[in-house]
Amino acid sequence: MNADLELDCRGMICPRPVIELARHVEDVPPGGVVAVVADDAAAAYDVPAWCRMRGHEYVGSDHAEDGVARYLVRRTAPPGR
């Protein structure tokens, strides 16, 4: 899936990938997709949990070219969350 913005969180440990996601989700237009590329195991659970807490849509996961997991989030919540 194509993302409007890809955040390279390789090598970051929890909760850093989620912090990066929170910082940059509003860099895409409403309805846009942010991809979080993270090798930290907690991201698999914390990205969806963050989406539920913040009202964004968790689209699912795939893999970056190097095989690292990539978590996709659609910006659906109003600004300022």
Partner 1 sequence: MSTPPGTYLDTASSEPLHPAARAVLDQALERGYADPRRLHGDARSARLLLDNAREATAQALGVRPDEVSFTPSGTHAVHLGVLGLVAGQARQGDRLVASAVEHSAVMHAGQWHAARGGTFETVPVDEVGRVRLDALDAATPTVLCLQSANHEVGTLQPVSDVAATSGAPLFMDACGSAGRLPLPDGWAAAAASAHKWGGPAGVGVLLVRKGVRWRNPFPGDDRVDERTTGMENVPAALAAAAALQAVVADRDEVNARQAALVDRLRAGLARIPDTQVVGDPADRLPHLLTCSFLYVDGEAIVSELDRRGFAVASGSACTASTLEPSHVLAAMGALTHGNLRISLARETPAAEVDRLLEVLPEIVRRIREDAGL
Query: Which residues are catalytic, by number?
Result: 14
Q: Is 19 in the site for partner 1 (CB under 8 A)?
A: yes
> Smallest distance from the beta carbon of 67 to partner 1, in angstroms?
17
Determine phi and psi for 53, rounding to 5 degrees.
-65, -35
> Smallest distance from the beta carbon of 56 to partner 1, in angstroms?
13
Determine phi and psi for 57, rounding to 5 degrees.
-95, 125
Residues 33-72 touching partner 1, rule: CB under 8 A, are 40-42, 44-46, 48-50, 52-53
Q: Is 77 in the site for partner 1 (CB under 8 A)?
A: no
Q: How far is CA 77 from CA 34, 56, 64, 66, in A?
A: 13, 5, 26, 31
